[in-house]
Amino acid sequence: MPSTIAILGNPNVGKTSIFNALTGLNQSTANYAGVTIDRKFGRVNCDGATGTLVDLPGAYSLAARSPDELIVADVLLGQRADEDRIDGMLIIVDASNLERNLYFVSQLLEMEIPAVVALNMIDVAKRRGIKVDADKLSEALGLPVVPVCGNTAKGIDTLKLRFAKLLRGEVPAAEVKFRYPGPETRAIGELEAELAQHRDKIGRDVPRIEAVRLLVDEGGETELRVTKLLDGGFPTRLKAIREHAINDGVPAAVQEANARYGWAHSVIDACVTRPPKRIRTRSEKIDDVVTHRIWGTLIFAAVMLFIFQSIYAWAVPAMDLIDGVVGMSAEWAAAYLPEGMLQSLVVDGLIAGVGSVVIFLPQILLLSLFIAILEDCGYMARAAFLLDRLLSWCGLSGQSFIPMLTSFACAIPGLLATRTIQNRRDRLVTMLVAPLMSCSARLPVYIIMIAAFVPARPILGGLLGTQAVTLFCMYLLGVVVAAPVAWILKKTLLRGPQPPFLLEMPSYKTPRAATVFIKVYREGREFLVRAGTLIFAVTIVVWALAYFPHPESVLEKYEGLRTAAANEIADTAALDERIAEIDNLEAGELLRGSVLGRIGHVVEPVFRPLGWDWRIATAAIASFPAREIIVATLGTLFNLGADEDEESPGLRETLRNATWPDGTPLFTLPVALSIMVFFALCAQCGATLMVMKRETKQWRWPIIAFTYMTTLAYIGAFLAYQIGTAVLS
């Protein structure tokens, strides 16, 4: 019979390394419906026994304050349709910090199902002079206890043997070791009777553990869920039962904590020897520097600069390589496929679409690598500690900083980095504002507009130039807009009680290569598979809009011109030049006549207040799947050929010479500013929106992000153009 075992423990107890040690690369992820966390599971084969190991998020308690936190209890109690019934538990505890770990263990024992305890981090405990007697602990818990050291794999073989027994059903069930005080026990009984009466409305039996959570967690997730199902009188009755649980003026929550920690203390007394005086740990000595007022801030700045620089610059060779391979495949396909719709679909649609996704892979892998290392060694908590005050001004916490900074390179890894944020509302707000940071794909737009239309003048006696300052302002714009947007989101859409910022500062440890590798590998694979398929579809749609109707008459006209040129011009180089010119004119006319080009004409009045003509509007619309498309599209639209990049002087000159039908210059400084502001604020990145959907499991959030960013972009561009024009005239 196949067994499903859940792996459980507090955060930072080394759950991941033990999960990896037991499953290897044999792991997958899926979705839990309705929550932001992934369902991570792996196939295990230990000593001939097979089964599934489900990795549940680290928790300090079964008390749930958000749908995400409810997952642990729900899976354990067999109340999720998307998860098999749990047959047993592998509980990981930290030997160096056993007392707090036992609080959660005392709740898990109440599941009364078979369990094995892995006593992890025995090496760290030893360094601190803490000795845990595993046999006595096993006796106190009534469960098998295996001392292990997840980082060096010491004890893992013994754990595997025990785990095999758990899989085979040869481990006895855990027993409740802890009794609630009298009044609370009676109140639980009352509540159970009340719930049994309304069994038909709830639709199932409510297990005792859930009844306890309903009683103790005032305003918690269990209460919200049950109250929704029952009649309006239930909250009053619940309140009355809660009154009964009060013992000597002490509410149930305090009683629970006192009783569980009391039990934990008695277990500690029986099996742990601690040094009389606390030994100052290595971590504390490191933190004297790393979280120091001055040194800590400098180290943080250096770490961020290093990461930023690496994503920004070091990913470039790999990205160029991918770009080259994509370009070669496009050429190859163009050479082998007959000219026509199929060739265009493969070259401009399929290959360009895949290329636009794969190009982000080096950045994602590099960033995943840094995040995995920083997380695994314990630095993330320090960064949040250092930065918390700054971000609390716009209603967020220190944990939002790294995702925001990362988004300056690319919003996609930025969104992935929000996974370290515990509070769901904070995480959503961070995801919604992260795409406002100027990512590297905006740089080409800034460069071409600034180089062509911002006059280079020295500022501050030549220390700075107008062009550099303009570029800096574009980067600043995202931050300046993000702060009030986050603040407003926290006050409106994602309003709720300010979550307590209670973060454990884990001990530093050497990152484990296997843990880091598996994380990076998973990020890369998931990005390619999930975001890839979706952005790919969007790219095909835009390709189709830009291709059809593709009238024969236009093709024949230009074919005639090419034949004529071949007859007239003898010189090969001159002929090639003329043919290229004709090709560009043809591409331009086809795009003008395409559905996309017509849309551009139709919407031109909408973009007129921004100072844009139909060509700029078309280019901006075509850039919604990926903003860097604008450079190539502008090239095509202004009849220069699609192979333009931001460095090319040709495009710069053409843009400078472009005019309105009446002959006045199209691009002026206010128009250039309006385009830049639009691109700075607009959600023109299909991949980002798809990843946002994937991470939040809801379409709602990418739609909200898209709507508010596009609105802000329009308003911003409008203001830039109108104010700019007013000031200059």
Partner 1 sequence: MSAITSTVMTLADLQPGDFGTVERIMCLGPVQQRLLELGMSPGVDLEVIRTAPLGDPMEVYVRGFHLTLRRNEARCVILK
> Site residues for partner 1, window 59-118 (CB under 8 A)?
60-61, 63, 65, 96-100, 103
Q: Choose the binding region for partner 1 from 82-90, 253-261, 449-457, 624-632 (rule: CB under 8 A).
A: 253-261
Query: In this structure, which long-range contacts are made by residues 394-398, counting pairs with CB atoms below 8 Å and at least 24 apart in sequence?
Result: 394/483, 394/484, 394/486, 394/487, 394/490, 395/429, 395/486, 395/487, 395/490, 395/491, 395/498, 396/426, 396/429, 396/430, 396/486, 396/490, 397/421, 397/423, 397/426, 397/499, 397/501, 398/501
Q: Which of 123, 139, 190, 504 binds partner 1 (CB under 8 A)?
A: 504
Binding piece for partner 1, criterion CB under 8 A, among 279-287, 455-463, 636-644, 670-678: 279-287
Altogether, the residues listed in the chain come to a count of 729
Report how far residue 120's alpha carbon sits from residue 116's, in angstroms, rounded to the nearest whole number. 12
**Residue 221 and residue 234: Cα distance in Å, rounded?**
16
Q: Which two tokens stand for residue 21?
A: 């040690």
Indicate the residue among 65 and 427 with the shorter CB distance to partner 1: 65
Structure-block tokens of residue 712: 């802000």
Report CA Rg, the chain. Answer: 31
CA–CA separation, 269 vs 553, rounded Å?
A: 91
Q: Which range of residues in 18-26, 249-257, 353-361, 610-618 is near partner 1 by CB under 8 A? A: 249-257
Task: For residue 38, give both structure tokens.
Answer: 């992934």
Q: Is 503 in the site for partner 1 (CB under 8 A)?
A: yes
Q: Is the dihedral of CA 318, 635, 554, 602 positive or negative?
A: positive
Residue 598 and residue 550 in contact, taking contact as beta carbons nearer than 8 Å: no
Count of residues interacting with partner 1 (CB under 8 A) = 49
DSSP 3-state assignment of 234? Answer: helix
Query: Smaller CB distance to partner 1: residue 289 or 574?
Result: 289
The residue range among 176-184, 236-244, 278-286, 515-523 that interacts with partner 1, by the rule CB under 8 A, is: 278-286
Q: Is 495 in the site for partner 1 (CB under 8 A)?
A: no
Report the SS3 class of residue 259: helix
249 binds partner 1 (CB under 8 A): no
Q: How far is CA 28 from the centre of its chain?
A: 18
Q: Where are the alpha helices (DSSP H) in 55-181?
A: 67-76, 98-109, 122-127, 134-141, 156-167
Q: Which stretch binds partner 1 (CB under 8 A): 379-387, 404-412, 479-487, 614-622?
A: 379-387
**Residue 217 within binding range of partner 1, rule CB under 8 A:** yes
For partner 1, the binding residue among 388, 526, 581, 583 (CB under 8 A) is 388
Q: Does residue 497 touch partner 1 according to CB under 8 A? A: yes
Contact at 8 Å (CB) between 484 and 361? no
* 728 scored as a contact of partner 1 (CB under 8 A): no
Tokens of 418: 């929000």
Question: How far apart (Å, rounded) are the C-alpha atoms in residues 556 and 250?
Answer: 89
> Helices 649-657 and 443-453 sit at what angle, rounded to 10 degrees?
60
Query: Minimum distance between the CB of residue 308 and partner 1, rounded to whole angstroms?
Result: 20
CB of 274 to partner 1, least distance (A): 8
Q: Closer to partner 1 at the Cβ: 219 or 232?
A: 219
Which one-letter amino acid corresponds to residue 722? Q
Quick check: 304 binds partner 1 (CB under 8 A)?
Answer: no
- Considering only 254, 313, 342, 606, the residue that binds partner 1 (CB under 8 A) is 254
Q: Does residue 385 belong to the site contacting partner 1 (CB under 8 A)? A: yes
**Which token pair is 538?**
């969007």
CA 591 to chain centre: 36
**Measured from the CB of residue 611, what is the shortest distance to partner 1 in angstroms?**
43
Give the interface segment with partner 1, choosing from 55-63, 442-450, 574-582, 648-656 (CB under 8 A): 55-63
State which of positions 153-172 bind partner 1 (CB under 8 A): none
Query: Residue 56 Cβ, how far from partner 1 at the closest point, in Å?
Result: 17
Assess contact for 130 and 273: CB atoms under 8 A.
yes
Does 620 sit near partner 1 (CB under 8 A)?
Answer: no
Question: What is the four-CA torsion angle of 144, 19, 68, 435, rounded to 10 degrees?
Answer: 160
Figure out which of the listed residues 138, 392, 466, 725 binds partner 1, where binding follows CB under 8 A: 392
Does 389 engage in binding with partner 1 (CB under 8 A)? yes
Question: Which among 425, 429, 405 has a CA at the least distance from the CA of 417?
Answer: 405
| Binding to partner 1, residues 257-276 (CB under 8 A) | 257-258, 261
What is the rounded CA–CA span in Å between residue 725 and residue 682? 22
Q: Which is nearer to partner 1, 297 or 309 (CB)?
A: 297
CB neighbourhood size of 183 (10 A): 17
291 touches partner 1 by CB under 8 A: yes
Cβ nearer to partner 1, comparing 155 with 220: 220
Tell me how far apart the alpha carbons of residues 446 and 410 are, in angstroms, rounded to a whole number: 16
* Cβ nearer to partner 1, comparing 284 with 320: 284
Shortest distance (Å) from residue 468 CB to partner 1 = 30
Binding mask 706-725 for partner 1 (x = CB under 8 A): --------------------
CB of 91 to partner 1, least distance (A): 17
- The whole-angstrom separation of Cα 326 and Cα 272 is 61
Q: Of 441-449, 450-458, 496-504, 512-520, which part binds partner 1 (CB under 8 A)? A: 496-504
Residue type, 255: Q
Kindly tell me the burial class for residue 397, based on how many C-beta atoms sit within 10 Å of its own C-beta (0-12, 13-18, 19 or more): buried
Question: In whole angstroms, how close is the CB of 493 to partner 1 at the nearest point?
Answer: 21
Is residue 220 part of the contact set for partner 1 (CB under 8 A)?
yes
Which H, E and C letters describe 271-290, residue by residue? HEECCCCCCCCHHHHHHHHH
- Closest distance between partner 1 and the C-beta of residue 501, in Å? 5
Q: Which region among 139-147, 388-396, 429-437, 549-557 touches partner 1 (by CB under 8 A)?
A: 388-396
| Contacting range for partner 1; rule: CB under 8 A; set: 231-239, 386-394, 635-643, 704-712 | 386-394
Tell me the backbone φ, ψ of residue 664, rounded to 5 degrees.
-75, 150
Token pair 């304050």 in the structure block, residue: 65
Return the residue of 50, 185, 197, 297 that touches partner 1, per CB under 8 A: 297
Interface residues with partner 1 (CB under 8 A) are 60-61, 63, 65, 96-100, 103, 216-220, 253-254, 256-258, 261, 278, 283-284, 287, 291-294, 296-297, 381, 384-386, 388-390, 392, 398, 497-505
